[in-house]
Structure formats: C-alpha cells, structure tokens
Structure 1
Amino acid sequence: MPYDPNKDEILKQWHCEETGLAVSIQRYDGGEAKVQIGPRLLRRKDGGQRAPAKAGRLTIEDLLWLYEIIDEVKDELSRLSGPQ
C-alpha cells in the first residue's frame, strides 16, 4: 500500500523561532502517535517562509530548545497514546 499524504495527521506541533526547527506529534491513518523531529521552517530575509528543509544535525541551540519542551512533548504524546 503506497504512502498517502492525506492520511498523515499533525496532532500537535512546536516551532523554535531561533533555529527554525519543528517538532511535532503525528499519526498516520489512525495509527500510533509518534514524535517527528524536523523539518526546519526558515524565513527569507523578506519575511516570507522558505521551503521546509531537513532537520539534519542539531546545534546546541536546537538541543537546548528541545530540552526545554521535552516534558511537554512527552506528556502530550502520553495523553494521545492512551493507556498501554
């Protein structure tokens, strides 16, 4: 069965303004909720948004931001995953 982008669902998303890194909780076709790190959503000098780019390697700024939000991400993923 081929991938269908219409079945991809973003349940919650965080975005670091400083580095452009995005972290989200997503689900595909009603399946298990999972954490996605990336893409980078960067802005052009004129203020418009560039095309999304791969997250690639994380900088210390990325890592510190992820550290700040990780408990919120974990709590939200736990809530969305339901009882195990």
Structure 2
Amino acid sequence: METLSRREEETLMKVTKAKALKACDDVVREFANCATGRTVSVVWACREPHKMMQACIRQYTNSDNMERLRLEYVKLRRRDEEAIKG
C-alpha cells in the first residue's frame, strides 16, 4: 500500500481538524464561552464542556476515520496520476 508523505499527512490532519471544529461549532463555542475570562479555574469550571468538545472532535479525528481518509486520499491521488499518464 502507498503511504502519505509527511506533508500530505499533516495537510490531511489539518483539513480534518478544521472540518471537525466546524461540525462541532456549538460545543466549541460553549467551551469558549465557559473559558472566557478564566485562567486556572477553567480546569475545573469548564470540565464538562471540554469533555463534550473533545468527544465531538474525536468523532472526526479518531484513528479509524483518519485511516479511511488516508485510503480515500491515496485512491484519489492514484486516479489523478493515471489520468495524467493518459
């Protein structure tokens, strides 16, 4: 199986995280609102919103989903390379 370069892997992770943040906008906003104006107390005062945010983002960035995205990327890259060759 083909592997991704470090740059491709980083780009895939960055794009996936951005999509996750957008999809989880409500819980991210809830955590941000809780954390606003706090310093050390954010650790215990915002524990639940933080857990909810992490759980939501994890849906998109877990290892199974990332592997599926890697395979899709390799498949698309292979298709593009074949199209260029003609």
Structure (1/2) with the larger strand percentage? 1
Structure (1/2) with the larger helix percentage? 2
Identify which of structures 1 and 2 has the higher relative contact order when contacts are C-alpha pairs closer than 8 Å and 6+ apart: 2
TM, length-normalised to structure 1: 0.32
TM, length-normalised to structure 2: 0.32
